[in-house]
Amino acid sequence: MTEGDGKPDKAIIKPGISIRAAGPDDSANTRAIQWAVGWQEAPDSHKYWPAHDSDWIANRYFRELVAEVDGVVAGRIGLEAFVPPFAELVNLCVRPDFRRLGIGEMLTMAGQREAARMGFPCLFLQTEMDNTAAHTLYAGQDWVPTAHGKMLRMVKLIDYPILASFKRTHPLNQYHCVPAVGAERTWEMEWNAFVTDDYLRLRLESGASQSDSAGMAPAISALDWRIKQGARSLRIAVEREPLTDIEPGHHVELVINARNSGSRPEEGVFQMVLPHGVRVTNPNTNKTKSLMWSLEPGESLRLPLVIQIEPHFDASALWYLNYGSLPISMEAYWQGYRVLLSTSLPMAVPAPLD
């Protein structure tokens, strides 16, 4: 649009948006943006999550954020963030005499921004089943309810391209979540398109709270995706062997399963996204290279691989965290779409020496 003199309108700068120079740590994200708009091929090698800065390590992967009103500390929230994809918001509290000022909303958003800044695409928290004030706050910020029991676990996917794409193209989508059949602590999150009956389903492995999670942090381990009234339909899942008390030096077998139930071929790349101190050891051809895949309509594939927890990996950091598990992630790319799946490894957590 132009004004009467033919000059373009000034850009509208929205709060919360800033522009900065890209740095070396931004290369993976900038390439993902180019992939999303069709400018580049999918990544050809595995990648590692960004390393934590010394401040986060010194504070044992926890940060407390506070809100001040005229110099008075009126509220706080905690953020625990060890290895992506999930970070946890902990214990949002606002003094009674400072409530109804929007402080809870501001603290929650501040925790979300800090998690996103460090590369965490997913957030979770737990709240009481009957805390309607908290439910209203979180639902207003696009959190969704998931696992429930004595407590309620809520999840927000803050950087999840496949969900953003589905909601953009299906604005009348409806969300619901139910327990997975035959699986303990597993839930099926579904966004269903009201008009076309397309859907996006994500399998969440999670308890409702810390006390009933058996030490395991949440993981989104499977995708079931259907668009264009079934013309494109793909299921992808990450599974691990049932081990416990995994230690540095151990190997873990994973399997990536996929099936094309649509009417057109699908092809893409599976890229492992790993914490530092973890690597792919088998198959030899994919120790560093992403795994290419192609599926005709009706075809399935099964890709086994082995990862190693390096002997030098320091598992003692998990001692201080609410969840003593190590997430292992895989990102799938196919023809303009991208999804991040993960599994959690139950680690043997030694007491720190200090």
Structural domain total, the chain:
1
Q: At what angle do helices 132-139 and 103-117 cross, to 10 degrees?
A: 50
Residue 11 belongs to a domain? no
Residue 246 belongs to a domain? yes
Residue 158 belongs to a domain? yes
pLDDT of residue 39: 59
pLDDT of residue 27: 73
Take residue 28 and report the two structure tokens written for it.
Answer: 């993976």
Residue 24 belongs to a domain? no
Cβ-contact 269, 42 below 8 angstroms: yes
Residues 342/140/151/123 CA torsion (nearest 10 deg) = 20
CATH code, 52 = 3.40.630.30
pLDDT of residue 9: 46
Helix (H) or strand (E) holding 252: strand 251-260
Residue 29 belongs to a domain? no
Residue 38 belongs to a domain? no
Cβ-contact 336, 32 below 8 angstroms: no
pLDDT of residue 140: 94
pLDDT of residue 137: 93
Percent pLDDT > 90 in the chain is 62
Distances, alpha carbon 292 to alpha carbons 45, 131, 169, 216, 270, in Å: 10, 46, 27, 30, 6
DSSP assignment string, 8-67: BPPP-PPTT-------GGGHHHHHHHHHHTTSSPPP-B-EEPPPPPHHHHHTTTEEEEEE
Cβ-contact 158, 123 below 8 angstroms: yes
Residue 1 belongs to a domain? no
Which residue from 159, 198, 193 is spatially nearest to 29, judged by alpha carbons?
A: 159
Domain that holds residue 73: 46-346
DSSP 3-state of 327: strand
Take residue 227 and report the two structure tokens written for it.
Answer: 């668009």
pLDDT digits (tens, 9 = 90+) for 161-218: 999 999 999 999 999 999 999 888 999 999 999 889 899 999 999 998 888 888 899 9
Stretches in the chain below the pLDDT threshold 70: 1-19, 21-22, 26, 35-40, 353-354
Which residue from 149, 319, 327 is spatially nearest to 238, judged by alpha carbons?
A: 327
Distances, alpha carbon 350 to alpha carbons 246, 320, 343, in Å: 11, 11, 21
